[in-house]
Chain A
């Protein structure tokens, strides 16, 4: 049951990313390009995507608090909000740098793999490098013991 629900969730997520245009890196970059506001080149769509997603998820969090367990499984695996540390801020800054360079982040890149035609090699390079980056982070983190619930 668990893999089936997860598969459905992944499908809905990919559907949402595609319909909203988030798999197109230009759409992301045109949002992040706030200096383009005066020239009319700014695209606020990403903000709307976020607001809609947050709104729905907010309701789910409220529901979660009313229910002891998820539908399947003994508990909710929700990370500890253990405080803002340097790694959080540094990691986020590096992530943002990478995101702003090419306009791809993990979810959209993986969805885009299935529907890219001429850009398949580009996206495959990004996704492959992303895996490498994640591996590096795993090694880095394993050498430094941290607080609980850090990895989700």
Chain B
């Protein structure tokens, strides 16, 4: 390669490094916002057509899946009301759900495999009040949490992403653990060996709210236990969790603002 071309290469490398290190600099944020606005519409259209063509399940199966999800949500609600009832009776604690503001957002892209994405790109960002760490839900199910926020778009890391983790407990019991994304599946880890896990048990979030007032609230459905790994010589057992929502079919999700 000729010397002038090599120097050009170094200049572009230097420019890239400057932009990389100064994303929040107002002129850069402004230009990023403009490019996102320009490409937002075609991305929306293309992603919508992709999700429409990927729906191969028959109508009956879809209805059954939706009914199953609704019944699980009702079960969680029932468990929450039962807990509230017991708490009011004991007068020790109140497990009320703090009213939250929900922001509907559209999914405009993804990263990872088509059938099991790791990251979703949504069409809301800083200008809509989105912040890193906010929970993203679909119905009463946790989808993931906000990881990166730009002017008009944000990244959502999904519950199977290796960067995702939160506290969890098994609905209807005192069994607690830690949910970790493992890429291909969701893992319920750090469950005490003496606790009795069962297949099809519903795992919900325990709650992880930051000092700023947002985060992952309690009683959001993570999924159902698919398989259990219990070794008697170990202090903890683990379980593989299967999510109850089909991420590739999602077009709109909701962000818990506070």
On whether the two chains bind one another, the answer is no
